[in-house]
Chain A
Amino acid sequence: MAKHLLRRTRIHFSIVFSVSLCLCGSMVWAETSYPMVMCLRPVAVQVGQTTECEVMARYNLHGAYKVFVTGDGVTATVDAPKTPPKAGTPRPKVSTLKVRFQVAPDALLGVRDVRIATPQGASTLGQIVVVRDPIVREAANNDTLKTAQSIPLLATVCGTIEKREDVDFYKFTVKAGAALTFHVRCQRLENRIHDLQEHADPIISLRNSVGTVLASNDNTFFGDPLLHFRFAAAGEYYLEIRDTRYGGNPYWQYCIEINDRPFVANVHPLRVTPGRTTRLRLLGHNLPRDSFAALTLPADTPEGPRSVLLPLGKDKSNAVPVIVSRLPEIIDAEAEHAKPAKAQAIAIPCGISGCIAKEEEVDCYSFAAKAGERFSFAVHARAHQSGLDSLLRIVNDKGQTLIENDDARDRYVHADSRIENWAAPAAGRYTIEVRDLHARGGANFVYFLSVVRSEPHFLLEIDTDKTLLAPGVASVIFVRADRKNGFAGEIQLGIEGLPPGVTAHCGRILAAGKDGCIIVQAAADAKQTAVNLRIFGTATAADSKDKLTVTARPLQEIYMPGGGRYHYLADMHTLSVGESLDLKSVKISSTSIALKPGESKRIEITIERNPGFKGNVTLDTVYQHLSSIYGSSMPPGVSIDDKASQTLLSGEQTKGHITLKAATDAKPVQKQQVPIMAHVSINFVMKWTYCAEPLFITVSPAASAK
């Protein structure tokens, strides 16, 4: 109880303290910080063209030397700074950087992540949209109908809802009968922005020449609108875009793709088998009735969701979401199978492509199972632009619901349903029911349902998506395991793609733990560089000799309103070696300790501050924020003895210590790699993490009582 109270007091204190720090100003913050990208302007780039964009960021972009863009076909360059810094003086502050994007003619349309490497470290992520039509940038004053900006068609209009109550008007001329699609990307481009605490909710409207609203759309693709309109009469029309709530922010960028080409929103089947031609029914706008496209993906296409450009005669479609799968293919039967008695029989494993085509429709699939057999079921729909908010049920032959799932929940809440590792209670036939939670239906309510036998495996996530080093400095990469279907093994971590001058110590995730760490160290003479790494884990399932190797998915940190810390999945983990930072090194008195249950040992820690840096430094072995633990490779039962540790180094203090204590019931473990971290706060949420060389902790077995 006392321990509980103490912890609560600590949490309370940490909040109060953190808030106090916030209120006290920046005197205790880090002197240096990596740049935090806020937006790119314009936010779209055209295929086959070079487009110059401005990257807007918090902190300093000065000296940017490299741009990372995910996917193929898009490269980007930046100019060297016109004013190189003088030795011994701080770099000039640059919050806006011009970047030239070169986009190949055949580049995949859609959204890409962008990261800027600077001497201050690799930036957080921004996003840019690859589009087909020419970019038209918003003019200075287009806030009223009278001052509407004339735009040519076809075009991709890029602008900013830059201030509260901002409304942007564009005018254009069409011929009678023209059918245009207006596809807005705005809110969806903000999810991975690290420090954008209020997001746009755009709405678009079309007005005729006298200003009468003809049509409007607020949300089609989540918060972003899509409007399709057939103009009965030729003439001049207006397009209006604003935030639904009349909010505004200089970082709220939008692009509106306006064209009269087919717009494919969904395909049925949603699933595509690599190496085989799949005939896809097309659903969307400006499509002839019963439109189909044939798609053949290379045989080595990795499984999972992806966007594809579908062949449409001589042309290609917009980017369309599909699920790539090699599971045996089943198509939702035409015949009625809404009741368990008429369920469509399936063999497991399989991947079912279906559609809840009308209101109150239920799709039933039946399978045979032996008692105790385990299965996993996952619906892929809403996350891929389907209208379906699925509800998934397993029903026995008496019609009783054995298990159901509406929204799968892990790090996020997904509208798609998932049932994992379900065990058949008895031998017999079971029915899988798929329906819309709201009993809705329609041609766009497509889904892909994977049905597999549950095999032990794991997923890995990296917290965070970038590791920032300086010559002589070490840092830590935490990797967290999500164990599936009873997987309980140990996972050895690995890393690929380290640049010259950087070494890594790869730890492991204990069978009893969920986190492991990799400690990376830049040599004292390491050169400035930035690379993307692959981090992975290897393990062997208990009842299998097969090795499982899983690539870890990076997580981009998100700064929540109120000071919370959250994450979005990202596609690249970047390691950078930059200029000297606030700390030059972290040293520990011992790299290996052995603890007996109930025993404590003290580790002396010495930090080397850069001249002039007098900010607070916090020592820790666990990566945490506001009492939540985001990374801890400590052996179970081993913790910091707060009373016997000095973890806050303020002013010019350079020496501290951490006392590690093994609980009396601590389980034995051999040489578990643990980081001794020194944190320097950048702001209320973010911190720069330095690390000492690895500490290996051994916990010996408890002496047997005699």
Chain B
Amino acid sequence: MSSQYASPRLWTAFVVLHLLVVPYAVRADFQTTPATVTLDGYFARAQLIVTQRGTGGDVNERSADRTHQARYASSDPRIVRVSDTGLILAHANGSATIQVSVGAVKHAVPVTVKGIVPRPALGFMEHVMPVLSKAGCNAGACHASQYGKGGFKLSVFGFAPDDDYRAIVRDGLSRRANTIAPASSLFLRKPTGGVPHEGGQRLEKGSVDYQILEQWLAGGARAPSAKEPKVTALRVWPARRIGVLGFTQQLQVLATYDNGQTRDVTALARFDSMDEGVLRVSRSGHVTTVGRGQGVALARFEEQAEIATFVVPYSNAVDLTGWMDNNFIDRLAAAKFREIGISPSPLCDDATFLRRVSLDLTGTLPTPAQTTAFLGDKAPDKRNQLIDALLGLTGDPSRDVHNNAYAAFWALKWADLIRSNSATLGEQGMWALHNWLTGSFRENKPVDRFVRELIMARGSTFSNGPANYYRIARNPQDLTEATSQLFLGVRLQCAKCHHHPYETLGQEDYYRFAAFFARVGNKGSQEFGIFGGETVIVARSGGEVSHPRTGQVMRPTPLHGKPVSDKRERRQALADWLTARENPYFARNIVNRYMAYLLGRGLVEPIDDMRATNPPSNVALMDALAADFVKNDYNAKHLLRTIARSRLYQLDSQPTKTNAADSRFYSHYNVKRLAAEPLLDALDRVTEVQTKFAKVPLGTRAIELPDARYNNYFLNTFGKPRREGVCECERVSDPNLAQALHTLNGDLVTTKIAGANGRVARLLAAKKSHDDIVNELYLATLSRSPNAREQAAWRQQLAESPNAKAFYEDLLWSLINSKQFLFVR
């Protein structure tokens, strides 16, 4: 055997990349990346990127891409060839030069080719799989669908290479692969259109990709081997670009392998636009910006994914007149406004702020008395004082009167996420969990301790509320998915069956994480008497999770981490890692959720889909918030106070002409429909007619309800979640026709307004003046007084109305059905 065949490494095409470009003389007006190229092996390719230099000779994120305008010529096409778009292809061993020309300026890129052998033995995973992935053969819509296509089934994104190899080479009586006459293989004839193919032409006959497959067949169709190098990281260059609408950019994708080598895989990578409104990206990785804003191009290769961010500012002129930084949030938000070219709206007025912050922090509408007091307060820091009072941080019991509502409101949010539900937990378990949640928020338990108590929960499900976490999700798989999504913001569900399409996480990662829960068990108990029937969550001394495909026992391993030892209870190690200050996910996940709760949108959306390929809209702000949260010991009230005190939070919801198109960068407050429970409570408070819920005494507010399901049409119509999933999306926040009809025509609102002991009846019985009544109705519903125009209009309406009681009921009905009431603005 010749030395050329001795090791795959020798013929594999590698590119030695000199990313630190040797500075050219200042006179040069563009830069090529890489400056020199080494192609190792047959089919080795490399993408040149040509970037225009600035007048000072610098290259930065605003530098224009000239890759597709440049002209390329090879000094020796027998050794290396180059395409019109700067893609270099190895042809024969030797050295040559690629001359790059932009206008009159020319640069030479030295190229060395080595490792070319007559009959290369190509590896299945290293060579064949990328071609299949690039062509989309193993996509879920094609042969990786549940039953495959046309009898040919591949694994999703090639997560099961052995199965794929069998499907190609062995299945169907080996009719797909012909190693003697590769060109006659169905495996090549189908995608090239040689025979009818439902998926159309996916490969061009004679193309490099075609040749790779043909050569692999000709070389005997080697099976997957564990020795083939695996990709450990992907890098996209440039990672970030800013420019005017319409600018373009060719991307270059570099893969680093576990043997330490780096290879240009641009030609084999798959590209997608994650923001179609901002950019489009071609199959070859050429990005074209098509809209203003911030967008991401995604590159995928083997089991890795990476992004490049593109910014197209809305405007060159940003008006930040009067902008004052209340805290670091504002400083970083302003920087983003400047970058993205958006001018923020002005501050909202006090009445709007009072209503907004009361509902956002406590789920509770302020009373007319509270509103009057706040609006009349002349203290310059009254907003900060209000925030502290709502959060119970004044230290004065007579002012910290919102603690019950705060605890109830945030317990409700987390009960939704954790899925507290009597249908699953029984009444006592559900109440135990609810009481623990409420107690946790009442004492402002640090979030890391809160999560640790859940993860480490053990003992009685009746006495130890968080133990019910292990009754809601009852097996390692469910616990894995719930835990990662809730506390890391990572959706691992995909990786249960195949590699995550937009993440670096695969099945191994999923089941290694699941191994943390392999030893959670339970036992019965009679401590609550023979009728009690409590369950006790225990840590068993044995129990493992196996990989469903390989059967291999998986060692408990954090995401992107190293296996942990079994010396201590496995969940202890998980809790330690999860809540570690250096955990990249934990704090970000929490601050992102809380940003979304208050500002109507997370820095990352969806808010529980945190991954490298779904970056925050404001990376610096996310980093700073997370760091501040960690620094302040995961103090949720501190986080809420920081956000609520920011100018960003206090901006008007009314967009300006210049920021109306923005929905990502908080240039104006995002209007939110009141959630079901706060809205029903608001109705109760406004009408002074309390709703009675099943199994709790009259006076219990909707935000205090512990269970998932109530026979309450209003709550159900307005989207109270059933707590069946850990996704934030289970709570439907969009308004719909049924909701509108219910508040407009439903009995509930009408009955409450006309209640014999309701607000309108009380005001009339007290013989209040018209202005006083109207004022109180406005204060109760909209947290503001009516303006002169409104007062005058209502006076006229009253004069025309034959029945004062009916008039005031109609007035209240109108206010309740106004957007100002139904929405947090």
User: Does B459 lie at the interface of the complex (its beta carbon under 8 Å from any beta carbon of A)?
Assistant: yes
Complex Cα distance, B695 from A244, in Å, reads 11
Within 8 Å by CB of B435, from A190, A198, A244, A439, lies A244
User: Does A150 lie at the interface of the complex (its beta carbon under 8 Å from any beta carbon of B)?
Assistant: no
User: Does B718 lie at the interface of the complex (its beta carbon under 8 Å from any beta carbon of A)?
Assistant: no
Chain A's nearest CB lies how many Å from the CB of B692?
Answer: 9
Within 8 Å by CB of B531, from A143, A199, A222, A382, lies A199
Within 8 A of A (CB), among B687-718: 695-699
Complex Cα distance, B697 from A429, in Å, reads 62
Contact assessment for A165 and B530 in the assembled complex, using a CB-CB cutoff below 8 Å? no
List, in ascending order, chain A residues with CB within 8 A of B400's CB: 212
At the interface with chain B, which of A203-211, A420-428, A630-638, A649-657? A203-211
Within 8 A of B (CB), among A198-230: 198-199, 201, 203, 208-213, 216, 218-219, 222-223
User: Does A257 lie at the interface of the complex (its beta carbon under 8 Å from any beta carbon of B)?
Assistant: no
Contact assessment for A199 and B397 in the assembled complex, using a CB-CB cutoff below 8 Å? no
List, in ascending order, chain A residues with CB within 8 A of B569's CB: 439
User: Does B398 lie at the interface of the complex (its beta carbon under 8 Å from any beta carbon of A)?
Assistant: yes
List, in ascending order, chain A residues with CB within 8 A of B696's CB: 165, 246
Contact assessment for B697 and A167 in the assembled complex, using a CB-CB cutoff below 8 Å? yes
At the interface with chain A, which of B70-78, B148-156, B518-526, B745-753? B518-526
Contact assessment for A213 and B529 in the assembled complex, using a CB-CB cutoff below 8 Å? no
Chain B 275-288 near chain A by CB (<8 Å), digits 1 or 0: 00000000000000
Chain B 512-540 near chain A by CB (<8 Å), digits 1 or 0: 00000000000111111111100010110
User: Does B157 lie at the interface of the complex (its beta carbon under 8 Å from any beta carbon of A)?
Assistant: no
User: Does A187 lie at the interface of the complex (its beta carbon under 8 Å from any beta carbon of B)?
Assistant: yes
Chain A residue nearest to B697 (CB atoms) is A165
Complex Cα distance, B398 from A441, in Å, reads 39
Chain A residue nearest to B392 (CB atoms) is A212
At the interface with chain B, which of A27-35, A332-340, A405-413, A527-535? A405-413
Chain A's nearest CB lies how many Å from the CB of B523?
Answer: 7
Chain B's nearest CB lies how many Å from the CB of A406?
Answer: 7
Within 8 A of A (CB), among B567-616: 568-569
Chain B's nearest CB lies how many Å from the CB of A596?
Answer: 44
List, in ascending order, chain A residues with CB within 8 A of B428's CB: 201, 244-245
Contact assessment for A212 and B463 in the assembled complex, using a CB-CB cutoff below 8 Å? no
At the interface with chain B, which of A48-56, A105-113, A558-566, A586-594? A558-566
At the interface with chain A, which of B353-361, B401-409, B543-551, B793-801? B401-409
| Known pairs A246-B696, A389-B459, A438-B459; A233 contacts B397 (CB<8 A) | yes
Contact assessment for A212 and B695 in the assembled complex, using a CB-CB cutoff below 8 Å? no
Chain A residue nearest to B463 (CB atoms) is A219
Chain B residue nearest to A220 (CB atoms) is B463
Within 8 Å by CB of A210, from B397, B536, B539, lies B397
Chain A 347-362 near chain B by CB (<8 Å), digits 1 or 0: 0000000000000100
User: Does A437 lie at the interface of the complex (its beta carbon under 8 Å from any beta carbon of B)?
Assistant: yes
User: Does B349 lie at the interface of the complex (its beta carbon under 8 Å from any beta carbon of A)?
Assistant: no
* Candidate in B460, B531, B696 with the most chain A CB atoms within 10 angstroms: B531
List, in ascending order, chain A residues with CB within 8 A of B510's CB: none
Contact assessment for B404 and A212 in the assembled complex, using a CB-CB cutoff below 8 Å? yes
List, in ascending order, chain B residues with CB within 8 A of A216's CB: 435, 439
Chain A residue nearest to B436 (CB atoms) is A218
Within 8 Å by CB of B529, from A190, A212, A219, lies A190
User: Does B270 lie at the interface of the complex (its beta carbon under 8 Å from any beta carbon of A)?
Assistant: no
Contact assessment for A413 and B697 in the assembled complex, using a CB-CB cutoff below 8 Å? no
Chain A 49-69 near chain B by CB (<8 Å), digits 1 or 0: 000000000000000000000
Chain A 127-144 near chain B by CB (<8 Å), digits 1 or 0: 000000000000000011
Complex Cα distance, B462 from A608, in Å, reads 52
Interface size on A, residues (CB 8 A): 47
List, in ascending order, chain A residues with CB within 8 A of B404's CB: 211-213
User: Does A97 lie at the interface of the complex (its beta carbon under 8 Å from any beta carbon of B)?
Assistant: no
List, in ascending order, chain B residues with CB within 8 A of A203's CB: 435
Contact assessment for B403 and A407 in the assembled complex, using a CB-CB cutoff below 8 Å? no
**Interface band, chain B:** 35 or more
Complex Cα distance, B532 from A190, in Å, reads 12
User: Does A20 lie at the interface of the complex (its beta carbon under 8 Å from any beta carbon of B)?
Assistant: no
Within 8 Å by CB of A561, from B397, B458, B459, B531, lies B531
User: Does A440 lie at the interface of the complex (its beta carbon under 8 Å from any beta carbon of B)?
Assistant: yes
Chain A 478-489 near chain B by CB (<8 Å), digits 1 or 0: 000000000000
Chain B's nearest CB lies how many Å from the CB of A399?
Answer: 13
User: Does A191 lie at the interface of the complex (its beta carbon under 8 Å from any beta carbon of B)?
Assistant: yes
List, in ascending order, chain B residues with CB within 8 A of A191's CB: 529-530
Chain B's nearest CB lies how many Å from the CB of A451?
Answer: 23
| Known pairs A412-B526, A438-B458; A199 contacts B463 (CB<8 A) | no
Chain B residue nearest to A188 (CB atoms) is B529
Chain B 368-410 near chain A by CB (<8 Å), digits 1 or 0: 0000000000000000000000000000011011011001000
User: Does A415 lie at the interface of the complex (its beta carbon under 8 Å from any beta carbon of B)?
Assistant: yes
User: Does B432 lie at the interface of the complex (its beta carbon under 8 Å from any beta carbon of A)?
Assistant: yes
Complex Cα distance, B520 from A437, in Å, reads 12
Contact assessment for A223 and B462 in the assembled complex, using a CB-CB cutoff below 8 Å? yes
User: Does B431 lie at the interface of the complex (its beta carbon under 8 Å from any beta carbon of A)?
Assistant: yes
Complex Cα distance, B432 from A65, in Å, reads 44
User: Does A400 lie at the interface of the complex (its beta carbon under 8 Å from any beta carbon of B)?
Assistant: no
User: Does A197 lie at the interface of the complex (its beta carbon under 8 Å from any beta carbon of B)?
Assistant: yes
Contact assessment for B531 and A560 in the assembled complex, using a CB-CB cutoff below 8 Å? yes
User: Does B427 lie at the interface of the complex (its beta carbon under 8 Å from any beta carbon of A)?
Assistant: yes
User: Does B442 lie at the interface of the complex (its beta carbon under 8 Å from any beta carbon of A)?
Assistant: yes
Chain B's nearest CB lies how many Å from the CB of A147?
Answer: 12
Contact assessment for B431 and A413 in the assembled complex, using a CB-CB cutoff below 8 Å? no
Within 8 Å by CB of B528, from A165, A201, A438, lies A201
Complex Cα distance, B526 from A360, in Å, reads 25
Complex Cα distance, B463 from A203, in Å, reads 11
Chain B residue nearest to A564 (CB atoms) is B530
Contact assessment for B463 and A360 in the assembled complex, using a CB-CB cutoff below 8 Å? no
Chain B's nearest CB lies how many Å from the CB of A383?
Answer: 9
Chain B's nearest CB lies how many Å from the CB of A547?
Answer: 35
List, in ascending order, chain A residues with CB within 8 A of B532's CB: 199, 223
Complex Cα distance, B524 from A198, in Å, reads 19
Chain B's nearest CB lies how many Å from the CB of A223?
Answer: 5
Within 8 A of B (CB), among A382-417: 382, 389, 406-407, 412-415
| Known pairs A199-B532, A244-B428, A245-B428; A213 contacts B526 (CB<8 A) | no
List, in ascending order, chain B residues with CB within 8 A of A440's CB: 458-459
Chain B residue nearest to A144 (CB atoms) is B699
Complex Cα distance, B536 from A222, in Å, reads 13
Chain A residue nearest to B538 (CB atoms) is A437
Complex Cα distance, B432 from A266, in Å, reads 25
Within 8 A of B (CB), among A222-259: 222-223, 233, 244-246
Contact assessment for A212 and B531 in the assembled complex, using a CB-CB cutoff below 8 Å? no
Chain B's nearest CB lies how many Å from the CB of A178?
Answer: 16
Contact assessment for A212 and B427 in the assembled complex, using a CB-CB cutoff below 8 Å? no
| Known pairs A203-B435, A437-B538, A438-B458; A245 contacts B695 (CB<8 A) | yes
Cβ contacts A to B, 19 pairs, < 8 Å: A165-B695, A199-B529, A199-B531, A203-B435, A210-B398, A212-B397, A212-B400, A212-B404, A213-B407, A213-B442, A218-B435, A219-B460, A233-B397, A245-B427, A246-B695, A360-B568, A382-B527, A413-B524, A439-B458
Besides the known contacts A209-B397, A219-B462, A245-B431, 4 further A-B residue pairs in the complex with CB atoms under 8 A apart: A199-B529, A210-B401, A216-B439, A438-B459
Would you list the 6 A-B pairs with minimal beta carbon distance, nearest first? A438-B458, A219-B463, A165-B697, A245-B427, A244-B431, A413-B526
- Spell out A's residues near B (CB within 8 Å): 143-144, 164-167, 187, 190-191, 197-199, 201, 203, 208-213, 216, 218-219, 222-223, 233, 244-246, 360, 382, 389, 406-407, 412-415, 437-440, 558, 560-561, 566, 568
- Spell out B's residues near A (CB within 8 Å): 397-398, 400-401, 403-404, 407, 427-428, 431-432, 435, 439, 442, 458-460, 462-463, 523-532, 536, 538-539, 568-569, 695-699
